[in-house]
Amino acid sequence: MVFSSLIFLFLFLPLFLAVYYIVPKSWRSPVILVGGCIFYAWWRVDFLLLIMGVTFWNYVIADRIVKNDAEIGRRRWMQLGVAGNLVTLGIFKYLNFGVDSLNAALEASGMNTIEALKFILPIGISFHIFQCISFLIDIYRGEAHPPKKLRDFLAFMTLFPQLIAGPVLRYKDLEDQFTSRTHTPEKFAEGAYRFMTGFAKKVLIADTVAPLVDKTFALEDPTMADAWLGALAYTVQLYFDFSGYSDMAIGLGLMMGFRFMENFNFPYISRSITEFWRRWHISLSTWLRDYLYIPLGGNRKGTRRTYINLFLTMLLGGLWHGANWTFIIWGAWHGGILAIERFVNSLKTESRQVIEPVKDLALMVFTFFLVIMGWVMFRAENVTQALKFYKSMFAGATAGLSEEISWQVTGAATTALIVGYILIFGMPLLEKKLNFNIKETRNVWIHSGAIGLFVIAVMKLGAQSYSPFLYFQF
């Protein structure tokens, strides 16, 4: 089940919220648990058993960590729990990739290939495993308290707004909210507003430019215009798809009394890749910082090690996104740039002047260019396709749009693309000039506009084919 579906909007969500608010507060965690199980099982019941099995595994390991008095024993239980999570992720997400890569090498060497079982990737397994790992590490560090009630922990792990595509929530940030959270009309209204705006971003913009992206990346030999149009369209699609999902998840959480962390903060106006990762998928970037970069040594073990740690963190972050060389290269791309930026910044004096507006704009444009180049590799089916796409972008034999793409440039797609970029670059300037936050505003006219866009998006959803969220594959 997905948020952008009629069955979710008009059956599951109303029934869930009705039951959630009718039952006594002490029963709301079980309602969340049952609702999350139904939501996930709508896809496949067998993988719900996997999710629940992983959840129980981490609950038992956390209990052993807490009850062990010896430091070495606590550490070993934590390591065992993390290893179990990584093995699960490795089997279901990376085993196929490893076998296929090995077989490609064996075949190239003229040797016999090996046969292995093919595993289906469970939806949201990466997000679930990351939450479990942070839970165990926080319990070990003493930064989170052991769950007082099993039902609250199960409810956290099956909280359907973030169950399959994030944000990457941490138990320590929500544990207090499971024991004490407020339910007010104002909070519910704020959540409904966030949900509607996210829904409109997904359906009216991301889904409208999606056919353009799919067609351009499917071309065998795109023209220069085809390639740039596809890259620019995908940049819009991915942002509005994933940030739209995050807005919906945050909104649903508010409607249930929870307040999740923000996941996006106008990332495309960044003036460096370092800043970009402070604004893009914030829950993931902070997770990678706290549970990978810092444990690797962060910047505490010398300059050279700092560069290596930055690179490795983003390399593994790329691998987290998918079992494909394209994601590994994308992670290496960002990791390499982060290391270079840190080196360049180390050469600057502390008394440097404030960046002039022209230089500020130039840095933003250059950073945006670097991000787009990374997105091409991120979107491509394989490295060969990505390299062909890069070649077309910079050395295409034909400059204009091909016939295959020309008919895809409809009025709706063009409008969605233009509006997308206006919002990407115009909204942060408008917020700064007017000194308000569009996500937190209570302006009646803005809320009324959100309702209107939501109605239009629902009408469009009823007429279009199924379009899953892009981050479901991770």
Domain ranges of the chain: 6-181, 187-271+355-473
Is-contact 123 43, C-beta < 8 A?
yes
Supply the Cα-derived Rg of the chain in whole angstroms.
Answer: 23
The H or E element spanning position 405 is: helix 403-406
Known active-site residue 183: no
- Other beta carbons less than 10 A from residue 228's beta carbon: 19
Q: Is the peptide bond before 167 cis (omega within 30 degrees of 0)?
A: yes
List the chain pLDDT tens, one digit each, 474 residues.
788 888 999 999 999 999 999 999 989 999 999 999 999 998 888 889 999 999 999 999 999 999 988 999 999 999 999 999 999 999 988 888 888 787 788 778 888 788 777 878 888 899 999 999 999 999 999 998 888 888 889 999 999 998 888 789 999 999 889 888 999 999 999 999 999 999 999 999 999 999 999 999 999 899 999 999 999 999 999 999 999 999 999 999 999 999 999 999 999 999 999 999 999 999 999 999 999 999 999 888 888 899 999 999 999 999 999 889 999 999 999 999 999 999 988 886 544 455 577 788 899 999 999 999 999 999 999 999 999 999 999 987 787 888 888 888 888 999 999 999 999 999 998 888 888 788 888 888 888 898 999 999 998 888 776 566 665 555
Q: Which of 413, 370, 43, 456 is nearest to 230 (CA)?
A: 413
Is-contact 235 375, C-beta < 8 A?
yes
Catalytic option among 128, 321, 334, 447: 321
